[in-house]
Structure 1
């Protein structure tokens, strides 16, 4: 699990996760679809 402060811009999410923005978008989309994305 990765905890990030909200709101965190896409630019900083990419830096924290050390990946490309395209990859991050794909992964986040899959997590939302599979209900693995939690936001509190």
Structure 2
């Protein structure tokens, strides 16, 4: 494995956490999203 693997895994993990927290926020506050768009 190359030396970039841990960095890429950390980046993917961070993006996955952001996606999860965003989807949780969307489920928790759907009316807010409807008002915005």
Q: State the TM-score, normalized to the length of structure 1.
A: 0.41
Larger Rg: 2
If each structure's helix is expressed as a fraction of its own residues, which one has the higher value?
A: 2
Q: State the TM-score, normalized to the length of structure 2.
A: 0.44
Which structure has the higher relative contact order (CA within 8 Å, separation 6+)? 1
